[in-house]
Amino acid sequence: MNSEQPDGPGRDRPETRDAAEEPEARGTPVGRRVLLGTLGLGALGVVAAPTLQRGLEAFLGSAADKDPTGLTGLLPNGGGFRYYSVASSVPRKNADTYQLTVDGLVDTPRTYSLADLRALPQTRMVKDVQCVTGWRVPGTPFEGVRLSRLLDAAGVRPTAGAVRFTCFDGTYTESLTLEQARRADVLVALRMQDKNLSHSHGGPVRLYVAPMYFYKSAKWLSGITLTEDVRPGYWEKRGYDIDAWVGRSNGRDDEPTS
């Protein structure tokens, strides 16, 4: 798939595959019936009524959790979330195994457990989520620790100008300028839709950058590194804008989300 993409991940990152990436953006030719057959979901079409939407999304989320092909990300789900991963498999982390490291140009590097993060003051925000490929999910609660709090705790050195995010999927990266990272609407999120973040949504901890396209919100967050300059992230090396403001980047004019 996507063999016409010379710099695609299949080429430089053999451990990745294309199926679950931004499918709309890549005009994937995979047919719906093939997907439904693959997943044994042939009856899915009859449960698309709006009242069942929540159940359907929950079902797709749990199906994505167990889906080694990542093809659940291509299933239509009536305007809800789509599940993306650029890595073919992602280890599961829980309260015993999860760690978040803050390092780089800081006075006090440190590592947080999930319990450490839960013990800090939590901020809850309810805003729309907007993917650069077009789908939008209105009024989605996210809750977690303000990134600015973790930066202050680490003591950012004057030479730092940017923040780089790494993920325990081993592949995805993102970045923000220090000014962007310090905004009050940027969270290290532990909860989404008033539940602990599921594995498929990037749990136990993901970044949530409310004012930017959702590709900024790195799932399975494991590292926060202060750097001198912004380093383009996974999708930004593949053409997405580094400053990803919803409504004024990537050639799109969506309603702002924050």
Ligand X SMILES: Nc1nc2c(c(=O)[nH]1)N[C@H]1C(S)=C(S)[C@@H](COP(=O)(O)O)O[C@H]1N2
Check residue 74 for interaction with ligand X (CB under 6 A).
Answer: no
CA distances (Å), origin 43, targets 37, 40, 69, 73, 220 = 10, 8, 20, 18, 32
Q: Which amino acid is at 163?
A: V
Check residue 18 for interaction with ligand X (CB under 6 A).
Answer: no
Binding test (CB under 5 A) with Mo ion, winner from 114, 131, 162, 186: 131
Which CB sits closer to ligand X, 98 or 172? 172
Check residue 8 for interaction with ligand X (CB under 6 A).
Answer: no
Check residue 217 for interaction with ligand X (CB under 6 A).
Answer: yes
Check residue 86 for interaction with ligand X (CB under 6 A).
Answer: yes
Q: Residue 240 binds which entry of Mo ion, ligand X, none, with Cβ cut-offs from 5 to 8 Å by kind? A: none
Lookup: tokens for 13:
């990152």
In whole angstroms, the minimum distance from the beta carbon of 175 to Mo ion comes to: 16
Find out whether 205 and 189 touch, Cβ atoms under 8 Å: yes
Find out whether 217 and 235 touch, Cβ atoms under 8 Å: no
Report the alpha-carbon distance of residue 91 to residue 85 in Å, rounded. Answer: 12
- Burial string for 20-39 (b: 16+ CB within 10 Å, else e) reads bbbbeebebeeeeeebbeeb
In whole angstroms, the minimum distance from the beta carbon of 97 to ligand X comes to: 17
Count of C-beta atoms within a 10 Å radius of residue 221: 25
Question: Which residue is at the shortest CB distance from ligand X?
Answer: 172
The upper half-sphere exposure of residue 44, i.e. CA atoms within 13 Å in the direction of its Cβ, equals 23
Stretch 126-185 residues interacting with ligand X (CB under 6 A) = 131, 167, 169, 172
From the list 1-9, 49-57, 131-139, 172-180, the region that binds Mo ion by CB under 5 A is 131-139
Check residue 218 for interaction with ligand X (CB under 6 A).
Answer: yes
Binding site for Mo ion (CB under 5 A): 131, 214-215
Q: List contacts with ligand X (CB under 6 A).
A: 22, 81-86, 131, 167, 169, 172, 201-202, 214-215, 217-220
